[in-house]
Chain A
Amino acid sequence: MKAVWATVWLGLATPVFAAAPAPGDDGVAWLNKMASAARLLNYSGTFVYHHAGRNETSRIVHFVNTAGGEFERLEAMDGPLREVIRTNDQVTCYLPGTRTVIIEKRSARRFPALLPERLAGVSDSYAVRVTGKDRVAGFDCQVVTLVPKDKLRYGHQFCAEIANGLLLRARTLSEKNEPLESFVFTELKIGGAFSREQVRSKYAPKSRDWKVDTSSLVLSDVATDTGWSLKSQPAGFRKLTELKRSIAGRAAMVSQIVYSDGLAAVSVFIEPLPRAQFPQSLSHQGAINIYVRRVSDHMVTVLGETPAATVMQIANSLEFRGAPGR
């Protein structure tokens, strides 16, 4: 045991970036590099979220302190006031228009998305190609294209800063290769010293008497058998996690099962029937499709950044195997 700790301590003394080799033409290595950059770099800038012919501009600041803590702040620049703050494992949304604070506590930082074997599975479902170079917000960037191998998922095009891999533009493309939504930096500063002030909510002092919705995770929220499963999983998708959790604004526990092909994910939410009747419905926002239906005595919502056919297929394949442990 002691030897292990000694190795650990020595390992930590090496610089963080030393482990990442230059990705070159390896598209999956570029995806890993983007994931590292998103977590490790200090940056601040303005990005535009484009969907359905509309643009929404936001400011984003991301800082990592000397202790490895991660702080992020996102503020909408047009439309209603909105602010999202992330402090390590906690995401807090401030909605001054409705005087609401929504707190989302994660079980772990980006768990389990960053495990390399997850991203490696991407090439089973997409042709990952390093296709060329472009320029975004004044930075040279490497274009990485993901062409889906079937109709169960959308195509993606990423452009990552050449030297450090920070994602500067992300486009999601429909079956017809038309853009469904995009996130594009229009102005960006990479680097800069950590500043707690810049990642603090401007509404935190004012929001003391606002309505607070907390979705805090407890021990039982982690990897539970919900009793629900799919008769058949869509090709290339596998289960990432399954848990019972609280959701902001809901009294009852909600079962959540997440399926992913390594990049896109679909969540299945199962909860008790609401008092009010609800029709089955299909809705969308950008690349997100949302399908709500009734399955036995439950309301089932399936949503994710995949085509409508995929979320519906998952919803239609859902079945209850029986209560575990009863």
Chain B
Amino acid sequence: MERISELMDGELEARDAQRQLARLKQDQELALCWSTFHLIGDALRGEGPLSREISNRVAMQLAKEPTILAPRSYAPKRVATYAVSVAASLSAIALVAWIAFFNNPLAPQPSEIATAQPAPAVTPEHLASVPSEGEANDLLRAHTEYSPSTAIQGLAPYIRSVSGTQQAKGQ
């Protein structure tokens, strides 16, 4: 199973990858692992070949059986058979978090979007904006990974946080 996780993360060399793909074709249980890992990825991204209904149903099933995916850090020996590589477990943890977020009654609902706001204490008129010298680059990088605009632009926005036109004090 670990090999399958590595295969998905592209950590295997070409020949080894081919061998694992051949194993997948023959072993039904492995094939299920494979599809589960991909399903987790698809569910996280909310897209892919699956309809959302199926993703949701499977996500609900997974929510009912979280021990299959998430207990690695608590009881590593007992769940050794389920231990997957770090990358795959992170995906699983994120999936659980994702399910928790969307099933959470406290999570913001569209109807709760604020519509009015008071005037801010300090406005741009009171404070001159200077070109960034890169001191916030570490934070900018942490921000970029969560911005929806990154999703449609790929890696390109990361150039902002390593821009060569800054003094790069933050580095």
Contact = CB atoms under 8 A, between A and B. Distances in A.
B147 A303 contact: no
A313 interface: yes
Interface string A102-138: 1011111111111111110100100000000000000
A34 B58 contact: no
B165 A219 contact: no
Q: Counting chain B CB atoms within 10 Å of each CB, which of A112, A245, A254 scores highest?
A: A112
Given A65-B10, A285-B132, A56 B163 contact: yes
Contacts of A71: 10
A16 B42 CA distance: 11
A263 interface: yes
A312 B162 CA distance: 24
A34 B159 CA distance: 19
Contact of A60 (B9, B21, B150, B154): B154
A6 to B, nearest CB: 9
A269 B141 CA distance: 12
B32 A219 contact: no
Contacts of A18: 49
Interface residues of A, number: 135
Contacts of A15: 49
Contact of B159 (A58, A113, A117, A258): A58
B151 A38 contact: yes
A74 B155 contact: yes
Nearest to A58: B159
Interface in A6-34: 7-9, 11-12, 14-16, 18-19, 31-32, 34
10 contacts: A51-B165, A56-B159, A91-B141, A91-B158, A105-B90, A232-B114, A260-B148, A263-B149, A305-B147, A317-B118
Interface of B: 7-10, 17, 21, 31-32, 35-36, 38-39, 41, 44-52, 54, 57-58, 61, 73, 87, 90-91, 93-95, 97-98, 100-101, 108, 110, 112-118, 120-124, 127-133, 136, 138-143, 145-166, 168, 171
The 3 closest A-B pairs by CB, nearest first: A79-B164, A69-B10, A108-B94
